[in-house]
Each structure stands twice: as C-alpha cells, then as structure tokens.
Chain A
Amino acid sequence: MSVEVRVPTVLRKHTGGARVVQAQGNNVAAVLESLEQQYPGLKQEVMNEEGKVRQFVNIYVNDEDIRYLQSLQTALQDGDSLAILPAVAGGATSIATPSFGEGDGRPIPSHLVGEGQDGGAVRLSDNGALQVW
C-alpha cells in the first residue's frame, strides 16, 4: 500500500526538509521500515530499541491515534494518511547542548546568529561569549 506520511518540523532534518513523503507498507510498522530505508535515522526518532513507539511521539492514521487502533499493526489502505507528532514544549532553553553546526539541521543553542561579511558566522554562546568562525 502506498501512503502519504506527514513529517513534523522537528523530524524534517531526516527527509531533507520534506513535509510530506510517500512510503509503502501494509501496516504502520512496515511503513516505518519503508521510511527508514528512504530516510535513515528517522525510525529511531519514533521508535525505541524495543521496537515500541516512543511515549512522547504519537502516530495518527487518518487523524486517529494508532493507540486506539491496532498500534503498529494498524492496517493501511492505498491513499491513507499517516502523521507523526512528537511533543513540543515551547521557548525555554533545553538542558542538552547539541554541538554547534550550521546547515546540518541540528539545533544551535545560541541567542544570536549572524553572517559575517566574508561569509563567516558570528554568534553569542550561551555564556555570552562572542564566537567567530
């Protein structure tokens, strides 16, 4: 079965920014495998090592939470719509400090990012130090 999968903003780094992608599978588990084949790294955001959906991520088939359907075994028809929805909290600085990076999609924990004249970047780190590279 070919289904449409809606990718939340926070996971689009795995799909090259794509908001909606296509995947194949007869049930949700198969579709997640299909997604992993096309977009390595996506599945582990959604499922843990034991093969269960992470508790802070919800999956919907045609706008119904799969918890109330047949979970990962929920059967799919052609044209069904699957949506992945992790919890989001809002504005506070998170506890983790991901590594710096630009353009690789990873979060930058800085208060200010700007472009220098010669293409370098200027930023304020969390402790207020000015960094240039």
Chain B
Amino acid sequence: MSIETNAPSRTLTLDQIRRYQRQIIMPEVGSIGQRKLLDAKVLLIGAGGLGSPTGLYLGAAGVGTIGIVDFDVVDMSNLHRQILHGHADIGRPKVESAADMLKDVNPDVEVIGFNEPITSENAFRIIEQFDIVVNGSDNFPTRYLVNDAAYFKKKPLVDGGIFRFEGQATVYMPGQGCYRCLYPAPPPPGAVPSCADAGVLGVLPGIIGSIQAVETIKLILGVGDPLTNRLLMFDSLAMEFREVRIRRDPNCPVCGDEPSITELIDYEAFCGGPAALALS
C-alpha cells in the first residue's frame, strides 16, 4: 500500500531532476514517486543511533518534511554511532545539529525540530502533523508511548531496535498489530541492559536505521513488500538475517478486538520508571 497523498501537484525543477535522477530513472520511483517523496512528511523519534542514518537517507531521497523529536544534546560518547552529528556539534541540541546536516545534504528538505521529550501531553500534537512515524527511541516508556500514539492517530510506525551486535526492524500498520502485540509488557527496570550498559557497535544502528529508511520509502512509494507482520532480526557477527512472524493479538489492550486502553497512559509508571520507583 502507499501512503495516501493528494495527487502530487508540484512539478520537479531542473535541479531536482538532476539531484534525484539516479532514483527517478527506476520504474519504482519515477517522477510521480519522487513527487510523493517530496510531499511526504516523516517524523523521526530520536536523532541518535537509529535516527541518524534514517534521517540522512530520507533527506537524501528527498522526503520533503522531516520532523525530529529529541531533547538531548550531542555528547562525545554519541559520535561513534550517531552519524548525523560531528565533533563540532558536541553540546548542541541534537535537533539543531540534525537540521543543519540534513539541510546540507538536501536543501529541499524542511526539518521541523521538536527540542522536547515526547510525552503523553504532546504526542498527539506532534504526530498528527506527519504521515509516517519512525521509531528510533532508546527506552521502553517511549517505545510504548510512540506505539500507542501512532496507533490512535492511525499512522504507520516503522520500528527498529538494536543491542550489541544484533538488531531488529518491523513495520506496524494500524490494525495489523502493534508493539504491544509483540511485547504486552516491558521488562522490569534493569532486567534487559541498554546499550549504555552493555555496549553497541556503532555501525549496527547504521544498518537497522537504513533498513528503516528503506521501509519508509517503500511505504511512501507503495512498492515492494513492507515488513508488516514480519520481525526482521539481524545478527552482524554471524552476518545473518532471520524473520519471525508478528500477528495482531486479538487480546491486545490497544489494537485488539476489545481495547481496554483508548488513550495515552503514564508510560514511566507502566515501565516501572524512576517516578514509579520513587513512589514504591
């Protein structure tokens, strides 16, 4: 399926034809596909390890509007993997650093930065402006928040995750399963180490984030077989890709037959976060 856009009304400029020529000449893209990309609005949750390659490739491909939600500043420990940012950006807000880099890669792209955490209060306001949401977040509360908000707002969610030398990617189409169908509840804090604890090879999110970019472009163009209902697993040490099937769970509290969750909740509490721990 492709994302519904108004019939692309813009015409490509000569510069745009030059810039995108190598992809326009493919039948799967063409002039119409290129205009769909230019009309598309994609939201990146996070401008970090995953968001960096996704943002770079979507920007290069000509996705016309890229939103970025990230309240973090660039830290030196980011630079081994977060390729949107450079040494000179240390200390800068990531959304600013990302916007500068993306405009340099492609002046066609409008970058809308949200220098704030995504929360239950702002998630709808932010997400509803975009066609597709790409998750590059680094913690469980945000994963569940973004999942629920994307579902309630009926936006496809291109998900990715990484750990050490392994990565995962999938696409959640509203109505065909969601992250909660895969993992109904998060691990208790500390049960599953994060990258900061256990480490991650810098190039790993580069691969998974790039896969997320391909999936996003496929959705925009309406070509290929998206990773809907398919969890792609990548093991870089074995250099092996595998897949398992994801099903919509009829008992899913958010997207199941009888949803018990119909609005955004307190995700920190749901995941046993500091607020919840402090109260316990």
Contacts and interface: CB of A to CB of B under 8 A. Distances in A.
Interface stretch (A23-31, A32-40, A70-78, A85-93): A85-93
B244 interface: yes
Interface of B: 48-50, 77, 136-140, 143, 161-166, 168, 182-187, 189-198, 200, 231, 233, 235, 237-238, 242-247, 249, 273-274, 277
B245 A89 contact: no
Contacts of B247: 65, 68
Given A10-B193, A88-B163, A94-B189, A19 B238 contact: yes
A132 to B, nearest CB: 20
Given A55-B183, A91-B49, A85 B277 contact: no
Contacts of B187: 54, 56, 86-87
A89 B139 contact: yes
A96 interface: yes
Contact of B166 (A8, A92, A107): A8
Nearest to B247: A68
A86 to B, nearest CB: 6
Contacts, number: 122
B196 A94 contact: yes
A85 B166 CA distance: 11
Kindly name the residue among B48, B136, B140 whose own CB sees the greatest number of chain A CB atoms within 10 A. B140
Contacts of B163: 9-10, 88, 90
A47 interface: no
Contacts of A122: none
Given A63-B244, A90-B139, A109-B196, A96 B184 contact: no
Given A56-B192, A58-B183, A90-B136, 15 more contacts: A10-B198, A60-B244, A67-B249, A85-B231, A87-B183, A90-B50, A90-B137, A90-B162, A90-B163, A91-B194, A92-B138, A94-B190, A95-B189, A95-B274, A107-B197
Consensus secondary structure, chain A interface: loop
B77 A111 contact: yes
Contacts of A94: 189-190, 192-194, 196-197
Contact of A90 (B195, B235, B277): B195
